[in-house]
Structure 1
């Protein structure tokens, strides 16, 4: 329902007549959502037909183009799509999975091939978000903008995604199926994607091992200077793939693909690998290895060295650096891979507890295993952030700090160890000044490490270095092109930089890739709210799956819409249901309502209790009314932000 005094968007739908039965329910859903929909069923025929079409296109806020096997051959649809594209108002969808025609393949489209008419379907949520964002999201960042199915946390971390709450769960299910990346191949020659190795063991429980080997190969290849290695989440979109090498390479932005399989029977391994050149689709090198588990480290190094030699024509000068797996003890390595699989599953406290037990087992087998110490620290920090009661936090943080420090003592050049030490320092006491040297060290050691780039980008942005944060997240996007979280993250930084229209487009892009993405709807709502787009902002807040963010947004937008009882009800429910865990969110609302003293009280209480959200205080636009207050300045100084 569109509130009184507000209007929905004017939408023009371009489609082929043969698809009329698929378009009818779509126009109905969009009309019921409060939008004004123009399509040729509403336009009179005769001599004025073309003029009516042109007038409708000029008036439209968004041009929705429905590609299909029929419409790609229609000159009318192509002309209408060109009009929307040239005005920056294009929102493409595909009714049957058909790819757009040449000239439109650089734009994201939403896959409606499985839509059955429900207004609550994820396809509609993605479309509504794209409409709110205004349309025309390109499939890859433009050149002038550039200067783990497992792991939400494997690339950005759950804690990095906290936008004022205590947890974040991303539904990555839409992914490549709902958002296709297409484009000309122009990847640098020193770029490679390691596709997830197939588990041929006949036992699904062994997937942790084949996935772990894939990730280890990424790490080893990334250690070689000058190599660009596609990140895990994007690479894992092509698990059990049927696409050709050119399609995969274009999507991931790489020149080479390393594919493979693992068969494990007890202590016996058969590892098969194939190096494929994307440009030609030809196999450059392939090899099978029959080994015992005790030889796993030597096999990994041999594969990495052979791949590097095949691509560069040179034998790595320091092959010893490829042996940096962290342990030479097979039992420790196997336990570590199990732990990382549990951790990356991101399925709740039980998985994190199992991960912790696995990392403990790895350390028991090899006390000098730096990677296991670092992952143990990260897991403890997640347990503290998401599940532990207040009376256990101090002990958990102390334990995590000990493991993080041990990791960097054992491996002083291990970027991830320094990253975890920075995270523990930051999240245990919100001390940015103390944490900064550790983040800087991680970034120096791992400038092309996707995970390091993501976490460093967040740290830079939240300390007010927004341009630096945006540059870092753009480098991460280049490594992780199919991960919707990276686009959401860039949108968040743009929002904090008060570039609200650009931010809204990025949030819409992330939602088109993964319609159920947690926090993306509310982030879009905040960006639209700051532009005065109250109707669209409210719709985005209503669609947000995280209740804390939803209530916060509704309290803000309903106040702007003069619906004060509803706004007050949302704030009261936020405080009553979630208590002190939402003090930061409550402060945002109170600051915008002009209740300055209450907002500052909430922030100071949050600081004393070390509750989530405060990390954004320096750059959050919703807190702008407090910036001239001495109490607010003291808060920022105490956190090392001024």
Structure 2
């Protein structure tokens, strides 16, 4: 379903000679996404999904249907010396019509002001065409005055989002350079927290070293900017994956989501917290919200599938794993989860077929051995399992458990929990650990690791704020002022008239004028103004003194600035084409 007030910002093309500057273009695109997501009531597709269309010539109508958005923003960026040139265009996804297009040529030092200007213009165009939105006076704030520090941050962000261990190292290097250039710039500190947290929690580097670094940069970042989405997400990441404290993580995430309700990283993290606690209904609520804004994220689909997997609903789990793999056929977590589903369902032939299409060497042999241990009388030992595949699944527990050594399995599980290894966090509901569940030691582990949530308050997914309103008396006065402005001054004749200008002319805040038009007159800004323009056209078109005008010339004379807008609005309003109406009324 496509929401009318919705947008996807595609990655801007980098036209700079140095192709490494792709990170800069990506960063600008993401900043605009984040800025627009702060507009209450506007659905903004998250970066992962909108960036899936990079280097793909896809019809905007297809993109609109796949992402569920009514508009697309795309463009290009050229960085030349100390100047930046941006061309941006806003397009309707139902018919490809260009709602807005503009070129900007500015000093690079004005980048934050330029991002704010572009974001506000886009939000205004959506409001004028699709209905009321409350828009703040500014959507982007200046985070650093050192443009080189900002560029290094964007470079670090670019590498971090490649989600590869070697790219995390490159991201760390760039973030540290950013901090050296401007120690008061808070964003790279939180980038470092995430990089070190992931590398340490999933075994890509020495855990103690990684977590010590993450804690250091978290402290520094919070000291600079304690109440930002980045700060709360970093706190939550540390609480969940380092300390295994999903309750504290949720408290931080709720504060972050109050600032940025569409932040899909925070929404997914909240789902992971509830999953760790076995609160699957709440987990689904959050991951479904994340998928609404980020429908092409393979990890979101995996996360949803994992929620069903942990409830032993294997068929449903596999459907979501398949969706993740449709987006990224090499998504490791989904590949392994699907293999586990086949094992637990006892489908040997399907397991062999699946593994034959996803060659992973020793990893595949582990799944085959696990199936044999569970469903046949084959005698196996832990040495039959590969020992170098512990990053994603707790093989150190599975291997002894299914070769008859529960004591060793329990000891390995305790060690993994004590070390807070990421692949163990859902051990309480892991279907493959079912044989351990009757053990008193296992039950105590669950209780001691995740104490009861009794007495703790958790918030639901953030709801949109109530719109700005006027009292009935105020609404009546401003409607009269609008009527007077249209009738006496014919403000609609200006083809460049926009909502902010009209609001200024009747001394009313743009948010309140938007509400007045949509909620009391039942029209968005463009419908309201074009109704007056259409009336002027119909009045003039039947008069002899205008008979020498062409239809389009007269439309332009009445304030329309686009042939397609005029024709579409005329047909929608009268049920006739302009020429047919004119023939019937002259």
Alignment TM-score, normalising by the size of structure 1: 0.65
Q: CA deviation at 1:594?
A: 5.4
Q: CA deviation at 1:299?
A: 0.6
Distance of 1:445 and 1:207 partners within structure 2: 29
In the alignment, does 2:309 pair up with 1:495? yes
Partner of 1:377: 193
Partner of 1:616: 426
Quick check: which one's helix share is greater?
2
In the alignment, does 2:118 pair up with 1:300? no
Partner of 2:232: 418
Distance of 1:387 and 1:619 partners within structure 2: 22
User: Structure 2 vs 1, CA of residues 191 and 612 (structure 1 numbering), >3 Å: closer, same or farther?
Assistant: same
Q: CA deviation at 1:543?
A: 4.5
SS of the residue corresponding to residue 397 of structure 2 reads helix
Q: CA deviation at 1:618?
A: 1.8
RMSD: 2.6
In the alignment, does 2:170 pair up with 1:354? yes
Find 1:394's aligned residue among 202, 208, 216.
Answer: 208
Find 1:572's aligned residue among 380, 383, 400.
Answer: 383
Partner of 1:177: none
Q: CA deviation at 1:466?
A: 1.2
Distance of 1:577 and 1:634 partners within structure 2: 29
Q: CA deviation at 1:215?
A: 0.8
User: Structure 2 vs 1, CA of residues 591 and 347 (structure 1 numbering), >3 Å: closer, same or farther?
Assistant: closer
Find 2:274's aligned residue among 435, 460, 478.
Answer: 460
Distance of 2:302 and 2:388 partners within structure 1: 27
User: Structure 2 vs 1, CA of residues 605 and 262 (structure 1 numbering), >3 Å: closer, same or farther?
Assistant: same
- Number of aligned residue pairs: 449
Distance of 1:629 and 1:260 partners within structure 2: 60
Structure 1, residues 258-284: CA drift from partner, whole Å, max 9, x if none?
111001111111101101111231111
Larger Rg: 1 or 2? 2
Q: CA deviation at 1:572?
A: 1.8
Range with bigger deviation, 217-226 or 524-533 = 524-533
Q: CA deviation at 1:623?
A: 1.3
Q: Is the 1:538–1:557 contact (alpha carbons within 8 Å) kept by the matching residues of 2?
A: no
Partner of 2:33: 218
Structure 1, residues 70-116: CA drift from partner, whole Å, max 9, x if none?
xxxxxxxxxxxxxxxxxxxxxxxxxxxxxxxxxxxxxxxxxxxxxxx
Find 1:636's aligned residue among 446, 449, 453.
Answer: 446
User: Structure 2 vs 1, CA of residues 317 and 480 (structure 1 numbering), >3 Å: closer, same or farther?
Assistant: closer
Distance of 1:431 and 1:315 partners within structure 2: 38
Partner of 1:554: 368
In the alignment, does 2:136 pair up with 1:326? no
Structure 1's unaligned 5+ residue stretches are: 1-185
Distance of 1:335 and 1:359 partners within structure 2: 6
Structure 1, residues 296-354: CA drift from partner, whole Å, max 9, x if none?
1111000000111111137965323x1235333312211111111122233433x3222
SS of the residue corresponding to residue 103 of structure 2 reads strand
Q: CA deviation at 1:473?
A: 1.6
Distance of 2:333 and 2:392 partners within structure 1: 15
Alignment TM-score, normalising by the size of structure 2: 0.71
User: Structure 2 vs 1, CA of residues 624 and 208 (structure 1 numbering), >3 Å: closer, same or farther?
Assistant: same
Structure 2's unaligned 5+ residue stretches are: 453-586
Distance of 1:592 and 1:325 partners within structure 2: 57
SS of the residue corresponding to residue 190 of structure 1 reads strand
Matches within 5 A, 1:242-261: 242-261=57-76
Distance of 1:405 and 1:262 partners within structure 2: 35
Q: CA deviation at 1:503?
A: 1.1
Distance of 2:242 and 2:178 partners within structure 1: 25
Q: CA deviation at 1:371?
A: 1.6
User: Structure 2 vs 1, CA of residues 576 and 282 (structure 1 numbering), >3 Å: closer, same or farther?
Assistant: closer
SS of the residue corresponding to residue 225 of structure 1 reads coil
Matches within 5 A, 1:414-563: 414-541=228-355, 543-545=357-359, 549-562=363-376
Q: CA deviation at 1:534?
A: 2.8
Structure with larger RCO (C-alpha < 8 A, sep 6+): 1
